[in-house]
Amino acid sequence: MTSARFDVVAIGSAIVDIIARTDDDFIAANGMTKGTMALIDADQSKALYEKLGHAVQVSGGSAANTVAGIASFGGTPAFIGRVGGDRLGDIFAHEIKVAGVHFHGGDGARKAALPSAVCLIMVTPDAQRTMNTYLGACTELGPDDIDGKLLADAHVTYIEGYQWDTPRAKQAIRKACKAARDAGRKVALSLSDPFVVDRHHADLAKLIADDVDLIFGNQEEVFHLFRTETLDEAVAGLRQTNTLACMTLGAKGALVVDGDSTTAVPAAPVSQVVDTTGAGDLFAAGFLYGFTHGRDLVGCAKLGALAAAEIISHMGARPEAKLHDLANKAGI
């Protein structure tokens, strides 16, 4: 690859997570679908928060978690996103900076008028997470936030599927894809959530056909993308996209689909699964770190599995251990 200042530039929602434990009845009683993300407005956010018990506040955001993971491996990531001029925005910006990520948009001039985004995350006893997001400041992300030079100076531009839920972000993503491709760089897409795939099916299919080189998604997201319920059809669908695609399968590991070759990689061992928030984000982190550092696809997927295992062993979606050290120790 041509040299670049950054391994990965991610475009994503800048979110602080508010994480509480609930039981399954709470999820059902509040009309949520376990394991998915729903968008809520400020009033709904307030009403739901009042029903929650003890919560902790830590930085999150899907693509932001991914770049924090890449930095923890020793990579050089950047992040494009919008925070508000409030203390939660400061917390997000602080955490992304101390994680070792270049934050484009974290300066005063770019602070949004709306309050910073929060994601209310309910972790059930099975360690599954169900999310309700108030996007706030994130909805102000637009084409002006996309610095073509920055994208040209990164091996991979990484985009959250979640971005399709913020109207102005569509234009931003189109601009980003063009800038990355014009510079001969790769574009990666995270499918984010099965309902996101449903809500923006045509847009995502077109983006994949036109611009995407790497796809990340879990089994349910890929099933929704190809409107299938079988693994064989899902793999066949990914093959036809002519991309390098990773489908994560929870405890069963992941499949890497690369043209005619499909490789299965097992999940890394975890002593106790505490909170699955960020598992997919961190799989992408490990894979992209490996991908931008010349590893073969099995090595990339093993790094992804290692990072996912770390993140599900504790509450919160940012690594607590240094992933670089864990990878060394595991000999990957």
Contact residues toward its own copies (CB under 8 A) are 18, 46, 49-50, 52-58, 86-88, 90-91, 94-95, 98-99, 115-116, 118, 318
> How far apart, in whole angstroms, are the C-alpha atoms of residue 307 and residue 270?
11
Closest CB to its own copies among residues 118, 207: 118
Closest CB to its own copies among residues 87, 252: 87
SS3 call for 230: coil
Cα→Cα distances 186→3, 208, 226, 255, 306, Å: 13, 12, 23, 20, 24
- Cβ burial of 9 (10 Å; 0-12, 13-18, 19+) is buried
**What tokens were used for 65?**
């978690």
> How far apart, in whole angstroms, are the C-alpha atoms of residue 189 and residue 191?
6
CB of 280 to its own copies, least distance (A): 22
Cα→Cα distances 89→109, 140, 170, 172, 204, Å: 13, 14, 23, 21, 29
CB of 45 to its own copies, least distance (A): 10
CB of 54 to its own copies, least distance (A): 5
Answer yes or no: are the C-beta atoms of 250 and 129 closer than 8 Å. no
Closest CB to its own copies among residues 93, 172: 93
> How far apart, in whole angstroms, are the C-alpha atoms of residue 55 and residue 293?
38
CB of 252 to its own copies, least distance (A): 31
Closest CB to its own copies among residues 34, 94: 94
> How far apart, in whole angstroms, are the C-alpha atoms of residue 255 and residue 61?
24
Closest CB to its own copies among residues 120, 188: 120
CB of 34 to its own copies, least distance (A): 22
CB of 49 to its own copies, least distance (A): 6
Closest CB to its own copies among residues 60, 237: 60
